[in-house]
Amino acid sequence: MRKDDLYIRVSTDEQADKGYSTRDQEDRLRKYCEIKGIPIRDIYVEDHSAKSFKRPEWQKYLSNLRKSKNSKVGSLLLFTKRDRFSRNAGDAYQMINQLRILDVAPEAIEQPLDLTIPENKIMLAFYLAAPEVENDRRVLNIFHGMRRARKEGRYMATAPLGYVNKMTEDKKKYIALHEIEAPILKWAFEQIATSNFNTEQIWKQAKKKANGIG
């Protein structure tokens, strides 16, 4: 009899930002199997990003598949949406081909597609590409946001050596000179510029100054 495996994935960021829940995914998948009369074999719960398939539970799943590949019984791999499966379209296509070789049909219960209909491959391409596009857009938004913040005199990342993170009364982040580190860093650059000492000597003296020795 054909059986199915459930694959549930949520990263820490996704759970915080969008309210994804492993319990909610499992409930929906179990309900689907109950309605369809599909017996459940194994459940894999993942807490890793889907940017690649180098995930512990996914590798465990593939290992179990390969061990049972001679069983002559095909199986289903069910997940809620395509972005639970992968957020990289190229990798997703390659993995789908690997699963087919192992006689596994990967299916998203909330984005069902009958791939015997050629036109549905266009929708598959959209479902697989959309999560990757979302990731790329998020990265660009963060980049542009940080660049805009720097232009406005705000510094969002950890302050570099010689500076310290601070915040104005209206909650705007900026960096200021560190009272101890900044003068030492300035001295070190001046010594490098004048070539009075080599870098190792400068480093040792800077450490002494930081410790209140020099």
Q: What is the pLDDT of residues 88-111, one digit of tens each?
A: 899 999 999 999 988 899 999 999
Tell me the β-bridge partners of 176: 164
User: What length is written for the chain?
Assistant: 214
Closest CA to 7 of 42, 50, 56, 31: 42
3-state secondary structure of 51: coil
Average the pLDDT over 180-191 and give the result. Answer: 85
Q: Which region, left, alpha or beta, applies to residue 36 given φ > 0 means left and ψ of -120 to 50 means alpha?
A: alpha
Report pLDDT digits (tens) over 17-41. 555 688 999 999 999 999 999 999 9
AA identity, residue 95: M
CA–CA separation, 74 vs 157, rounded Å?
A: 50
Instruction: State pLDDT tens for residues 76-88.
Output: 899 999 999 998 8
pLDDT number for residue 213? 59
pLDDT of residue 19: 52
Q: CA 214, CA 198: separation in Å to the nearest integer?
A: 17
pLDDT band at residue 202 using 50, 70 and 90 as cut-offs: confident
Cα R_g (the chain), whole angstroms: 27
Cβ neighbours around 78 below 10 Å, total? 25
Between 135 and 125, residue with greater pLDDT: 125
Q: Give the chain's domains with CATH numbers.
A: 3-138 (3.40.50.1390), 163-210 (no CATH)
